[in-house]
Amino acid sequence: MTNFRADPDTLRANRSGFADVADRIAAAAANLRRVLDAEGECWGSDQIGQSFAKNYTPGVPKALDGVDKLGTTMNNLGDRVVAVADALQNRDQANAGDLGQVPR
| pLDDT averaged over every residue in the chain | 92
- CA atoms within 13 A of residue 16's CA, in its CB half-sphere: 3
CATH number of the domain bearing residue 70: 1.10.287
Domain membership of residue 10 (yes or no) is no
Domain membership of residue 30 (yes or no) is yes
At 98 the pLDDT is 80
At 1 the pLDDT is 61
* Residues of the chain above pLDDT 70, percent: 96
Domains: count for the chain: 1
**Looking at the predicted structure, is the pLDDT value of residue 104 above 70?**
no
Could you report the per-residue pLDDT of 54-83, keeping only the tens digit for each?
Answer: 999 999 999 999 999 999 999 999 999 999
